[in-house]
Amino acid sequence: MFTINDAHNRGVTAVTVTNDCRRIISGGGEGMIRIWQINPNSRELLATMKEHKNAVVAIRINKSDTECVTASLDGTCIIWNLKRFARDQVLFENTLFQCVAYHPEEYHIITGVHPYRTICFFLNSIWHASTGNELLRITQANKTCNSICFTRDGKIIISGWDDGRIRAFYPESGREMFTINDAHNRGVTAVTVTNDCRRIISGGGEGMI
């Protein structure tokens, strides 16, 4: 259909599409975030946003297409304003972010980090004017969370780990709800949940879905 050549000079490491299907947001190995307008007969680079100092590993967009959150190996998660193409908020952690997801109601952001823990940050109406507050810290000894998401109703956190297991947690307490042992014989690299919250789809390092 079309190709965007040379989108990033150190490779594309994360990509997503706005809900209206009119823009592509890409992240690169050099740490840049780029916004691409998709027109019927052309593609246009709308903005380049440079704050991350290392590769961007995940991008998530809110429902209204007004902001997105990006996670990077430089130890930051950044909330970007997609109207001004500028940073609204930054979260720092002395570690490597692996993944990020919005709560369905968008008042929480949850992140998976290396090494060995999952973190939930508070996102509310005064988020852009204040420091992000950590609400919940879930730890699993000697394990790394590679992928994470909420169920559509926001009641369960589903996470994939480098030990090949899928773990579910209650977001209010961090208590483990259940574990799927040996979901993959290598690390779980991706997880998602169907809209009816009845099925989990996962990908693993051995190539299985």
DSSP secondary structure string for all residues of 18-76? -TTSSEEEEEETTSEEEEEEE-SS-EEEEEEEE--SS-EEEEEE-TTSSEEEEEETTSE
pLDDT at 184: 97
Cβ count within 10 A of residue 141: 7
Residue 34, domain member (yes or no): no
Of 12-21, 50-59, 85-94, 127-136, minimum mean pLDDT range? 127-136
pLDDT tens for each residue of 114-142: 765 665 554 432 233 345 677 778 888 77
Residue 64, domain member (yes or no): no
Assign residue 166 the CATH number of its domain. 2.130.10.10
Residue 139, domain member (yes or no): yes
* Stated pTM of the model: 0.85
pLDDT tens for each residue of 155-205: 999 999 999 999 999 988 889 999 999 999 999 999 999 999 999 999 999
* Number of domains the chain contains: 1
Collapsing DSSP to helix, strand or coil, 102 comes out as strand
Distances (CA, A) of 14 to 55, 164, 180, 208: 9, 22, 27, 21
**Domain ranges, residue 144:** 93-204
Residue 6, domain member (yes or no): no
Question: Over 90: is that where the pLDDT of 57 sits?
Answer: yes
